[in-house]
Chains A and B, each alone.
Chain A
Amino acid sequence: MRKLRMTVSLCVLIGVLGAAAAVAAPLSEFDAANLEFQNKLYDAAIAGYRSILTQGYESAPVYFNLGNAYFKKGDLGNAILNYLKARRLDPADDDIRSNLEFARRLTSVQLEGVTLNPITSLLESMTASWRLSTLAWVSSLLFILVIALLALRYGLAVFHPLVKPGLVVGLILLVGSSYLTTFKYRHDYLTRRAVIIAAQSEVRTGPSEQSDLELQGEPGLVVEVLAETGGYYNVLFENQRRGWIKKESVSVI
């Protein structure tokens, strides 16, 4: 018995130390990259932040600082791309929102004529400042509450007068939160969005060089990827114009 306890304790200790070591490496790289940024060595800072990402880690501040480094370098496309990635992880962060808006105001082309479905707009505004994980856990809590009330009512046969109204309210809240969670998941993760990063990018009417020019893409424009074929993405711009753009001209968020 004592042996077992010792083995378990050892395993836990190794796990904790391993996790601490795993986090320590990105932390030191993050600090080093911040120092490079402060010294205006933006290329070195970008390399530092990207190194953390290539290790398979991510966090909103890493993407945010990376976006700032690209912005300072004058690469508006990659700046906006990383601000968007940061916002997906931490939608409530005011700094991310502020820099993203600022960068998007500086893009060469401001797309106009955007007509959004009012219901979609409402859902977007409702979920804009919430993380997907928060919404998911709220839904989960409500689900457990509903299950508990069902267990009281049908498992333990408790016929308290508050059980039934509680069940109805819980179910309504659960449906609402689940819908918002699904919307957020679809909006942020299932809908493929990309940012134009190439300085020169032609958007054509078909997936080939021979197709007519639809419009000239500009760095920082956000598009929705509808389909892909060969080396081209079929993209939808915010002003509802469609076209085909080379894959290397954009980066998927």
Chain B
Amino acid sequence: MSARTGKRVVLSPLLLTLALGFMCWGEAVAQDDAEIQVSVSPETIGLDEQAILEVIVSGSTQNIPDLQMPALPSFEVYSQGHSSNFSIVNGVVSSSVSYRYLLLPHKAGTYPIEGISITSGGKQIVGNKVTLTVTSRGQSSSPQLEQKAVDAQGSTRDYFLQATVDRKNSYVNEQVTLTLKFCIAVQYYSSPELNEPATTGFWTEVLGNTAPYFQKINGRSYRVIERKYALFPTQTGDLTVGRASITTTVAARVQRRDPFDLFGDLLPQGMQVTARSEPIALSVKPLPTSGKPADFTGTVGRFQIDARPDRTDVEVNQPVTVTFKIQGTGNVKSVAEPTIPDLPDFRVYRASSNESTSKSGDRLGGTKTYEEVFIPKRPGDLEIPALAFSYFDPERNKYESISTRAIKIAVKRPEGYVASPDIPYSGPTMMIGNQAQDIRYIKDQLGDLQRSGKLILLSPVYMLVNGLPVIALVGLIVARKRREKLEGNVGLARARGAGRKARKRLSRARSLADLSTYREFYGELSLAVMAYVADKLNVSPHGMTSDQLADLLRSKQVPDSLIEEAIGFLRQCDFARFAPATPSSDDLAGALATAEQVMVKMEGAKFA
């Protein structure tokens, strides 16, 4: 064995000893560090409810000793398992174990829970003390509920829906509280959907849902969801609250059909189920006739009334707003307001009204507030009389009559006031707002009578007025463009003006169609035709011979027949002008007609 090997042999037990020592030191430290936290939630429960006791043991070691629980004789205790957590951060070891217990109480009382401990290394570490209060508020499951929880075969139901009412005989308009209880003992996957019960013949107000709680029925723990309604019968006789139903998805009990389907049991399968309540028959009796006040209008419950004016010193026609407040228990929305009698000294208008409901336990109540505007018609010390309000109190089984206090109003005479019972006062201060007095009087002039639904925007006159300027503008612009085009192109201008000029010459020739001036007549005719062609072709007519004209027309591919006709006519004119024989009147007329004919044909001809 070499010296080096010998060192190793010596070092190894040393290291082992050090490591063990370190671990024991760590264990000792961990036991010193260990602590127990005990909590219970909720701290107050009902008899049929349950609480969760949670104990967390934490320390700086991985091996936390087992928990020692004290005896809890007042509860049934079910372990819900434990979970561990272990971590090393920057070389620091920490771990914790969380234990959960379900506590179901046997009887009401206040129970301290203490003495939860661990023992390690001979040392006992005790957790903090918590107190669980059990009240008797949790309803013990009623026989009806227990009966409902059992099906026809005698086995307990996984879920069911029960509807109950607090009374089956009531007065009309007296509150009947309907409670729907959905109890479910199995896991459900979807939020239950409620189909509300039919409450025909009732004024229905939803009182709300209670927070879900657990209740033991026939030894089985159910999760219970409650919803309550305030029903006010609006008619007498036998009424029925219809079935309600709740649909949700629960875990299905599926038989494994396929032996190779390994996941069949692992993956839960949902099944949509529906629970229905039974209909409930109610008997609604009419209110007693004996002792009914004359002003009773059907209000049932227990109420108080109060009336407060916003001011008591006003001028004539200045409004006094009186706020009436009726509050108490009962259906505040159906409270009939006291009737205001005809007051000769006031005009009365309703200003506003609103209701607010409130709950006192399961009883519905609220406040109805409304305003009446009293407008004094005359000056003096006027009075808004006390208004009587009667209701039937079903708890006391008798009618009650209460009233507001009378309100005295000091009404002053305004400046310029003229007493007139029929004509609404319309002094110079007539304004809208706080000084509002009355509507303004009707108009005696019919005004601008027009056909119904006639809109100026869509009328032909309006469209014409707006359309014509646009047409005029377009016309002007087109005319200007055309003018500019003609000014820039002499040939085109001459060609377009040829017809007009020719017509002028023919007209002049017609005035010369006399035997005394026949030479000028033929000269004018000849010039008219020659100038027409010259203008069309943008050449000078001066000095142009018939042959030159014929050549020009031929070059523009004018039909030969037309050329011959035109040339023939020009020669005829020349002949008539210079021949010694005097033509007859018919000759003159014929020449004129021929000239017109030639020009009409020329107008129709296309010059290439």
Taking beta carbons and an 8 Å cutoff, which residues of A are in contact with B? Answer: 23, 26-27, 30-31, 34, 37, 53, 56-62, 64-65, 68-69, 71-72, 89-90, 95, 98-99, 101-103, 105-110, 132-133, 136-137, 140, 143-144, 147-148, 150-151, 154-157, 181, 185, 189
Contacts and interface: CB of A to CB of B under 8 A. Distances in A.
B480 A156 contact: yes
A108 B473 CA distance: 58
Interface stretch (B6-14, B33-41, B347-355, B599-607): B347-355
A59 B456 contact: no
B442 A64 contact: yes
Contact of A59 (B352, B450, B457, B465): B450
A189 B455 contact: yes
A53 B453 CA distance: 11
Which of B438, B441, B447 counts the most A-chain CB atoms under 10 A from its CB? B447
Nearest to B465: A140
Nearest to B437: A102
B4 interface: no
A147 B471 CA distance: 10
Interface in B561-576: none
Given A110-B352, A147-B470, A154 B439 contact: no
Given A68-B439, A68-B442, A151 B447 contact: no
B446 interface: yes
A157 B480 contact: yes
Which of A31, A37, A68 counts the most B-chain CB atoms under 10 A from its CB? A68
Interface string B467-498: 00110110111011000000000000000000
11 contacts: A26-B446, A34-B442, A53-B452, A58-B449, A59-B449, A106-B373, A107-B352, A110-B352, A132-B455, A151-B477, A156-B476
B522 to A, nearest CB: 42
Question: Dominant SS at the A interface?
Answer: helix
Contacts of A23: 449
Contact of B447 (A62, A154, A189): A62
B466 interface: yes
Contacts of A30: 446
B446 A62 contact: yes
Interface string B415-455: 00000000000000000100010111111111111111001
A108 B353 contact: yes
Contacts of A27: 446, 449
B22 interface: no
Nearest to A110: B352
B447 A185 contact: no
A36 B443 CA distance: 13
B452 A58 contact: yes
A102 B475 CA distance: 56
Contact of A132 (B370, B443, B445, B456): B456
Contacts of A103: 439
Question: Dominant SS at the B interface?
Answer: mixed
Given A98-B432, A102-B439, 20 more contacts: A26-B449, A58-B449, A58-B451, A59-B448, A60-B448, A61-B443, A69-B442, A89-B448, A90-B447, A105-B351, A107-B352, A132-B456, A133-B456, A147-B469, A147-B472, A151-B469, A151-B472, A155-B473, A155-B475, A155-B480
A144 B452 contact: no
Nearest to A45: B442
Contacts of B466: 140, 143-144
A198 B354 CA distance: 18
Contact of A143 (B353, B354, B438, B469): B469
B462 interface: yes
Contacts of B462: 136, 140
Contact of B436 (A34, A68, A69, A105): A105
Contact of B480 (A99, A154, A181): A154
Contact of A64 (B443, B470, B480): B443
B442 A56 contact: no
A208 B479 CA distance: 66
Contact of B432 (A57, A64, A102, A136): A102
Contacts of B349: 106
A139 to B, nearest CB: 9
Nearest to A184: B457
Contact of B445 (A37, A57, A61, A140): A61
Contacts of B451: 56-58
Which of B443, B445, B475 counts the most A-chain CB atoms under 10 A from its CB? B443
B476 A151 contact: yes
A126 to B, nearest CB: 18
B422 to A, nearest CB: 8
Contact of B457 (A68, A101, A157, A185): A185
B354 A109 contact: yes
Contacts of A185: 455, 457
A99 B352 CA distance: 18
